[in-house]
Structure 1
């Protein structure tokens, strides 16, 4: 029987007041302005926009009123819309950030099923493991994009093909959504442990939800279109593939630009198996923002372009991140801690490219 690895702990050599001060200032901001840290009117409008777009695009495809090339464009547009639902609705709700009412978060967290993904598995892999052990090899499985193919950690074995990874990794990102729908959730659900965490036995209801939701998704996006559209089975398959390739590229790029860019670190536990930094300080070293002044990035990315604030305050709705980012940045500077950010999406993308190139050549 596999014994679970002892839990890694954060034991700073020198305690930092950073998080206590930041949390106090953020709490004061909401109190002084009489604001709730959860969704406001603008957030609800944004959520309805993307959810409505999903229904509209899916309905237009099933209407069977368009030519094959238009249908293909609609499929690509639906893929982008689905990714945006994940960023803007599912993500906040699954963190409990959308509403103060747990039933609202559960309801909106169910929008994850619209992606063909499983909310329960996501909470285990993302909310618990990734947010706690960010960028720590062997613990954070989010940095294992394609083990053996993509090298994002200098501790990983360097292979000859990694020399070209800055070129082939981006096409691999397009497979992220397809892998999620067809493979990833099943693999994670039935693993003995995720990272170094050995979860307790899954509730029986989660087995039912996993298989029923996946079956319904395959019916809605493969069987139903094949039955109602004047398209051959292979054309339906191409549309399904285009939708997921588009969705996967958006998902892959947005998530990677937050942790796999120049300047972010991949800490190694000490001889006793611990990280010699406070958890919040660790987040500053392993996380980066991008395009912080872009209204378009804020609208599309659901706060994931302000990943520092999200990692420090995952239960605060991302609609408030622009306001609290000034507090976080100022406090980090006062405590002589880094606050990493790329000024634009393009500069973050270039930084990610350079990091891939560097890690493909050095040990």
Structure 2
């Protein structure tokens, strides 16, 4: 079986499909790696909260100065770290039950950084269920970029126009991701169906109004606009770069690919090697394979789960991919350039 030119192992016999992951889960559970880590998260949230409060304190103390652009960069990094905490909340890595996860998640996401917690949780849950599936994973929908040669051939409009040189445009486009999160959240909040929509909308509006009021009361209009652009661009670039190495450049799946849960998660994910700095910068998502197999595993346990998962994949003959930071981005960009080849071979047509 091949997908995008990548050879995938044949699916296991029907009787073993359910037992392969069950065996792995039993080993991980016996190692105690699904237990909560309240001390770790108390410390991590305290550090992130202190950075968040300290950056805003510096903003108000510094006043109307171009040195505020340094604060804008720092706040962009801090906002991304807040988003990573919201990610762990959504997966119930911090609290075992839904209610406290949702309460804190909405405060952190909607009020803290202006990201709809409910919208993002729905989108991310669908991604986890079918990673890199061209029809079911919203993260590989051809809305702006194309992720397979099949998508490139079928593309029209903006994706077809950008797809020819999308590898070169990838990081510049990530600077818009912060704005995209806000816009997508607003769209979700104005449509019926979102759980606790009024509460989310109130918290979201409080963030937007407070954010804009702070900028334009402290800074001159010109500085406020530049601060906003720098802050949101750094936020988008950092957050997008955190998630980009994990699946981009890995095989994409279609309805023709019949893989069990274990293989579906492992074959579409990539780990990123690195020490404590990479682990802190990526919020533990550098252990993407382990995270996709056990989404509710606390992030400090992912490193300990890696040798168990990697060894088990070796037993079953399942490819387990791990790359360095630069190598992971190189693979992702090379893939984007390769799948855009059909668009470079023929003139772009209008939709």
Normalized against structure 1, the TM-score is what? 0.83
Secondary structure in structure 1 of the residue aligned to 2:145 = coil
**Equivalences for 1:301-340 in 2 at 5 Å?**
301-340=282-321
Residue 140 of structure 1 is matched in structure 2 by: 137
1:80-102 CA distances to partner (integer Å, 9 max, x unpaired)? 01101211x21111111112354
1:326-362 CA distances to partner (integer Å, 9 max, x unpaired)? 11111111011111111x2111111112111111114
| Residue 312 (structure 1) shift | 0.8
Residue 27 of structure 1 is matched in structure 2 by: 29
Mapped to 2, the partners of 1:178 and 1:244 lie a distance apart of 7
Mapped to 1, the partners of 2:139 and 2:269 lie a distance apart of 13
1:129-171 CA distances to partner (integer Å, 9 max, x unpaired)? 1110111112111123x62x42112221344642311111210
Residue 108 of structure 1 is matched in structure 2 by: 104
Equivalent pair of 2:174/2:240 in contact (CA under 8 Å): yes
**Equivalences for 1:32-51 in 2 at 5 Å?**
37-51=35-49
Residue 71 of structure 1 is matched in structure 2 by: 68
1:95-143 CA distances to partner (integer Å, 9 max, x unpaired)? 111123545423432311212101111121112x111011111211112
Say if 1:215 and 1:191 are closer, same or farther in 2 by CA, change over 3 A: closer
Equivalent pair of 1:164/1:357 in contact (CA under 8 Å): yes
| Residue 286 (structure 1) shift | 0.8
Residue 348 of structure 2 is matched in structure 1 by: none
Residue 332 of structure 2 is matched in structure 1 by: 352
Residue 51 of structure 2 is matched in structure 1 by: 53
Structure 1 unmatched ranges of 5 or more: 1-10, 193-200
1:4-34 CA distances to partner (integer Å, 9 max, x unpaired)? xxxxxxx96643443111101001101xxxx
Residue 118 of structure 2 is matched in structure 1 by: 120
Residue 349 of structure 2 is matched in structure 1 by: none
Secondary structure in structure 2 of the residue aligned to 1:80 = helix
1:270-299 CA distances to partner (integer Å, 9 max, x unpaired)? 3xxxx41112210111111112x4211111
**As a proportion of its length, which structure holds more helix?**
2
2:265 aligned to which of 277, 283, 288? 283
Q: Does 1:202 align with 2:189?
A: no
Secondary structure in structure 1 of the residue aligned to 2:150 = coil
| Residue 61 (structure 1) shift | 0.6
Mapped to 1, the partners of 2:150 and 2:42 lie a distance apart of 43
Residue 151 of structure 2 is matched in structure 1 by: 156
**Equivalences for 1:229-240 in 2 at 5 Å?**
229=218, 231-240=219-228
Q: Does 1:260 align with 2:248?
A: yes
Structure 2 unmatched ranges of 5 or more: 1-10, 154-159, 344-351
Of 105-114 and 172-181, the range deviating more from structure 2: 105-114
Q: Hey, which bits of structure 1, 4+ residues long, moved more than 6 A?
A: none
Mapped to 2, the partners of 1:317 and 1:132 lie a distance apart of 19
Mapped to 1, the partners of 2:312 and 2:34 lie a distance apart of 22
| Residue 37 (structure 1) shift | 1.9
Say if 1:18 and 1:189 are closer, same or farther in 2 by CA, change over 3 A: farther
Secondary structure in structure 1 of the residue aligned to 2:165 = helix
| Residue 251 (structure 1) shift | 1.1
